């Protein structure tokens, strides 16, 4: 059984069909890459899955249970957490406090939440920065804090929206290693990413959106060689190496 199933989801903004009858399935324990040009509908689909936007038609199932149009906090409690394309770190809270906020979605005990947050700061390499204010962080650290805050909600699935954007090559390498460590802990991921050198080696499967529609799906090498994907999105900028 798939962990997440999106079935025929449609989402419109006035005349714009941001998601046009999109279906996809994410198997437990892997990484699925969601790619496509700007405006393809990737972030909109994340928002529909996470409950930020109601869908007009279609269904979303998590572990076989219907989660379509539940509230975002309910979906979070079901076990789906997300990061944001434009980071939403709490600027006036410290790194530790930002992560405690995530942990408090699972417990009313601040002591327990702080303990969980401390473990996650260790996993995400943020221990040294735990006292810094959100407003003073670099982009890379803001992205890390968002990932840590999402992890603190103890998700079984993470929706990651361009977590590598704006990072230096060294920071990208560190972020990839972190995603692999998170995967090893049994968290399944749906990853929106424009950096093909990152997403192609990381993902088991790739789904391609274009103008709101799914135009291709399959193993990375197959999708990278798909003429429709090359013409709609990749151009000459990525050649599969495996
Ligand atoms: N809140 C909104 N109101 C109106 N139109 C919207 C809204 N959000 C998204 N859209 C439109 O829906 C379409 C899909 O946008 P979306 O942000 O999902 O694309 P994306 O694939 O995430 O793009 P990018 O790679 O640039 O982040 C675009 O045409 C966009 O202009
Ligand atoms: Mg987007």
Q: Hey, where are the domains in the chain?
A: 1-79+157-242, 88-154
Mean pLDDT of the chain: 94
- At 33 the pLDDT is 97
- Distance (angstroms) between ligand 1 centre and the Cα of 52 equals 14
- State percent of the chain over pLDDT 90: 88
- At 240 the pLDDT is 59
Nearest CA to ligand 1 atom 4: 13
> What's the pLDDT band for 20 if we cut at 50, 70, 90?
very high
Looking at the CA of residue 46, tell me the nearest atom of ligand 1.
18
Work out the average pLDDT over 92-111.
Answer: 96
Say yes or no: CB of residue 86 within 6 Å of ligand 1.
no
Asked whether residue 36 carries a pLDDT value surpassing 60, the answer given is yes
Say yes or no: CB of residue 68 within 6 Å of ligand 1.
no
Work out the average pLDDT over 166-184.
Answer: 93
Looking at the CA of residue 212, tell me the nearest atom of ligand 1.
14
Work out the average pLDDT over 16-34.
Answer: 96
Looking at the CA of residue 19, tell me the nearest atom of ligand 1.
14
- Distance (angstroms) between ligand 2 centre and the Cα of 206 equals 16
> What's the pLDDT band for 233 if we cut at 50, 70, 90?
confident
Say yes or no: CB of residue 18 within 6 Å of ligand 1.
yes
- Distance (angstroms) between ligand 2 centre and the Cα of 110 equals 34
Query: SS3 sequence, the chain?
Result: CEEEEEEEEEEEECCEEEEEEEEEEEECCCEEEEECCCCCCHHHHHHHHHCCCCCCEEEEEECCEECCCCCHHHHHHHCEEECCCCCCCCCCCEHHHHHHHHHCCCCCCHHHHHHHHHHHHHHCCCHHHCCCEHHHCCHHHHHHHHHHHHHCCCCCEEEEECCCCCCCHHHHHHHHHHHHHHHHCCCEEEEECCCHHHHHHHCCEEEEEECCEEEEEECHHHHHCCHHHHHHHHCCCCCCCC
Say yes or no: CB of residue 117 within 6 Å of ligand 1.
no
Q: What is the CATH number assigned to the segment(s) 1-79+157-242?
A: 3.40.50.300
Asked whether residue 112 carries a pLDDT value surpassing 80, the answer given is yes
Work out the average pLDDT over 159-183.
Answer: 93
Say yes or no: CB of residue 236 within 6 Å of ligand 1.
no
- Distance (angstroms) between ligand 1 centre and the Cα of 126 equals 32
Residues 80 and 50 sit within 8 Å (Cβ to Cβ)? yes
């Amino acid at each position: 059984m798939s962990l997440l199933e999106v079935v025929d989801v449609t989402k419109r903004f006035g005349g714009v069909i941001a998601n046009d009858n999109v279906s996809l399935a994410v198997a437990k324990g892997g990484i699925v890459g969601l790619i496509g040009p700007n405006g393809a509908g990737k972030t909109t689909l994340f928002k529909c899955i996470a409950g930020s936007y109601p869908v007009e038609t279609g269904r979303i199932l998590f572990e076989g249970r219907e989660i379509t149009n539940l509230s975002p906090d309910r979906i979070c409690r079901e076990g789906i957490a997300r990061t944001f394309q434009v980071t939403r770190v709490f600027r006036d809270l410290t790194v530790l406090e930002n992560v405690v906020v995530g942990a408090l979605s699972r417990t009313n005990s601040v002591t327990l939440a702080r303990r969980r947050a401390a473990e996650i700061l260790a996993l995400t390499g943020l221990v040294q920065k735990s006292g810094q204010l959100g407003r003073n962080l670099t982009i890379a650290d803001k992205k890390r804090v968002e990932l840590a805050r999402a992890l603190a909600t103890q998700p079984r699935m993470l929706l990651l929206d361009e977590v590598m954007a704006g990072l230096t090559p060294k920071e990208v390498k560190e972020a990839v290693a972190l995603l692999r460590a998170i995967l090893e802990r049994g968290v399944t991921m749906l990853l929106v990413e424009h950096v093909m050198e990152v997403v192609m080696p990381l993902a088991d499967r790739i789904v391609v959106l274009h103008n709101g529609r799914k135009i291709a799906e399959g193993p990375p090498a197959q999708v990278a060689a798909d003429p429709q994907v090359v013409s709609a999105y990749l151009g000459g900028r990525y050649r599969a190496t495996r």
